[in-house]
Homo-oligomer: A and B are copies of this chain.
Amino acid sequence: MATKQTTQILKRLRSLMKDTTFVTEAIQAYIVPSGDAHQSEYLADSDQRRAFVSGFTGSAGTAVITETDACLWTDGRYFNQAEKQLDANWTLMKEGIPTTPTQGAWLAKTLPVGSKVGVDPRLFSKDQWTPLSKTLKSNGHILVPVERNIVDAIWDDKPPPPSHVIQPLGIEFTGKSWQDKVKDVIQEMDAKNCSLLLLTALDDIAWLLNLRGSDIQYNPVFFSWALVKTNGEIHLFVDPSKVTLSVRQHLNLEADVEMAELVSSQTNNNVLAILHPYEDVDGFLAAEIPQQPKKIWISDKSAVAFSNLVAEDILCSDVSPVVFMKAIKNPVEMAGMENAHIKDAAALCCFFAWLEKEVESQRVVTEISAADKLAGFRAEQADFVGLSFDTISSSGSNAAIIHYKPSSETDRPINDREIYLCDSGGQYKDGTTDVTRTVHFGCPTPFERQCFTRVLKGQMSLATCLFPSKIKGNVLDVLARKALWDVGLDYLHGTSHGVGHYLCVHEGPMGISWRVYPDDPGLSENMVLSNEPGFYQDGEFGIRIENLVKIVPAKPENNFKDRKFCTFENLTFVPIQQKMIIAEMLTKEEVAYIDQYHTQCRDKVAPLLQKMNKKEGLNWLMRETEPVG
C-alpha cells in the first residue's frame, strides 16, 4: 500500500478548475465522489477517479479539492489505509468522529464567500446533491454541475471501460422469471401513479432481468440502464457486443427496435424487452418524458443528471422498487444461499486445515499466497464463479486495518505468534457468501482472548435476539457492542450489511449499525444480512467474527399485539476457534449456543467434505467442533 505522489495531478486539476473549456466560470472546489454513473460501490478500473487523484484505493471515500486544500473523507474501516496511501498534499477527514465536519460544513467554512463548487452530475446522486447544495447556498456558495469530467481530462492512461458478455441466470437459480418480476415492478409503479421508471443501479437491472455480467470485479453486473413503462415495455440500454444469443433468447428479443415496438403495440399487456445502445439513454429518456401520462420515477439515489431532466411536480424520487424486492429472498434464492454457504464452508475447512499444517511445519505462507490457496479451494466447488470481494487475508498488525487488502509491499508471512484474520467470500451461481474467521496458530495473549470472547458474545447476542418484525436494523446494533462497551472497547464500523443473491456482497437497503439506514424498510423475514462485530488494536491485531444470517419467524411464548417476532438463523457454518475463547466469560446459554452451532457445522458441512473426499478438511472440522461445555 504505497503513498501516491499527487502534487502534479493536483496542479493539473486546479488549472482545469479555472479553464473555461471545462467550466463556465472558474470553480473554487471540485468534488470527486467515490461512485460511478450508476452509483456503484465497487468500481471498474475506468471509474477509479477518486483513487487516481488521491491515491486512496478504499471502497468508500470522497475527495474534495480546493485551490489550496485537498481533503479525503472516509470512514473508520479505512482510517489506517488512507493514512498510508495519502501523501502530504492531502488531509484525512475521519467520518464517524464527532469533531469531523461534513463536506458541506467544511466547504462552507473554508471557501471564500461566493465560491462555486463543481461536481460531475453523473457521479453525484440527487440525495447527495440536494443537502449539499442547500448547505452551500445558505453559506453564500453555489453547487454547480460540471458536465465534462475534469479527472478524466487529466487521466492520461485511463483504462477503457470493461466489455464482458452477459449471461442469463436460469429460473432454477432465480426462482422467478424476469417477466413476472417486471410485472411486480409495474404494480409498484401503478401504486405510485408512475408510468415510467428509470433504473440506474447495476444490481437492480441484473436482478430484475435475471442476467449477470462481469464488468465490475466481484460484482456480477454489467453496465446498463433500464426503463420500465407501465405498458409492459422494458428498455435495456447496453453495449450490443455484450448481448449474446443466449441473452437474446432469454429476453425474447426481436431482431430490431422497430419490430419490437410493433410487437409491443400489439401485445399490450405482455412484458416486452427492447434493446438500445448504452449511450442512447439520455436521448430516449428526454423524448419519453413529455409523453408520460403519469409521473416519472427516478430514485434520488440515481445521478442528479437524470432527475434534473424532470420537473419536480411530476418526479417520484422514492427508492427504486427493485431495491425492496431483491432484499427479500424468494424460496429458491434462499435455498441457493444455504447451499452456497455449505460449499463455501467446505472450502474454508480445507483452507484452515491446510494453513494450520503449513504454519506448524514452518513453511512460508504469506497473506497473499494464503488468499490464493483459499480461492483455489473455493474454485473446486460447484457453480463457483469468482470471489465476492478482495480477500482480507491479514496477519498481526495488518489485521487492524479493517478493510485491508494485502499487496506486495505489505504482504507478511502468517505465523504462530500473531493473530490471522481472514474475511472472504465467493460468488456461486446459487448465492453469495461473506465470512470472517480470526484464528491464532500459537498462543494468543490474554487480552487478545478477552477481546475475541467479547466480540463473540456480541455476535451471539445479535444472532440469538428476538425482535418485532419491521423494526429498523439500527435498533439492534448495541447488542453486538455491549460486551465491548462494558470494558471501554468498541469498533468503528457497522455490524451488518445486506447481501445479494449471486449479486453484490453489500446490498441495501437495510443494515445494522449505529447509523440509521435511511431507506431501511424494517427487518423482515427472508432478508439476508451479515453479523460481524470486531475489535481492532491499531498496530497490533484485529478481530472480526462474521456469519451471514437469514431472518426467520420466531415462536415466542407470547405474541404482543401480533408484532410477528423474528430472529436470525445462521447461513454460515464454519467453526469458531475455541483457543481464542475464554470459556469462563461465557454464560451457560452462550456455551450451549456455541456447541449447538458447531454441531450444525458438522451436520451440514461434513457430508460434502466426505463426498469430495477432503480428509484433512473433514478432520479439521471434526476437531474444531468438539463441545466447549
Contacts and interface: CB of A to CB of B under 8 A. Distances in A.
Interface stretch (A217-225, A384-392, A405-413, A553-561): A553-561
Given A137-B313, A138-B313, A561-B492, A486 B474 contact: no
Total copies of the chain? 2
A490 B559 CA distance: 9
Contact of A563 (B138, B474, B490, B557): B490
Contacts of A316: 138
Interface in A598-616: none
A489 B561 CA distance: 9
A482 interface: yes
B488 A554 contact: yes
Contact of A478 (B315, B478, B487, B557): B478
Contacts of A559: 488
A476 interface: yes
A466 interface: yes
A101 to B, nearest CB: 13
Interface string A561-603: 1010100000000000000000000000000000000000000
Contacts of A487: 466, 556-558
A471 interface: yes
A137 to B, nearest CB: 7
Interface in A496-546: 514, 516, 522
Contacts of A522: 98
A205 to B, nearest CB: 26
Output the residue of A316, A471, A559 with the most chain B CB within 10 A. A471
A284 interface: no
A490 B522 CA distance: 17
Nearest to A536: B560
A470 B98 CA distance: 8
Nearest to A522: B98
Interface string A606-628: 00000000000000000000000
B488 A467 contact: no
A418 interface: no
Output the residue of A315, A475, A559 with the most chain B CB within 10 A. A475
A468 interface: yes
Interface string A310-321: 001101100000
A485 interface: yes
A479 interface: yes
Given A488-B466, A490-B468, A556-B487, A476 B478 contact: yes
Given A137-B313, A490-B560, 19 more contacts: A98-B470, A138-B312, A138-B315, A138-B316, A465-B486, A466-B485, A467-B485, A474-B475, A475-B514, A476-B478, A478-B479, A487-B556, A487-B557, A488-B554, A488-B556, A488-B558, A489-B556, A489-B560, A492-B561
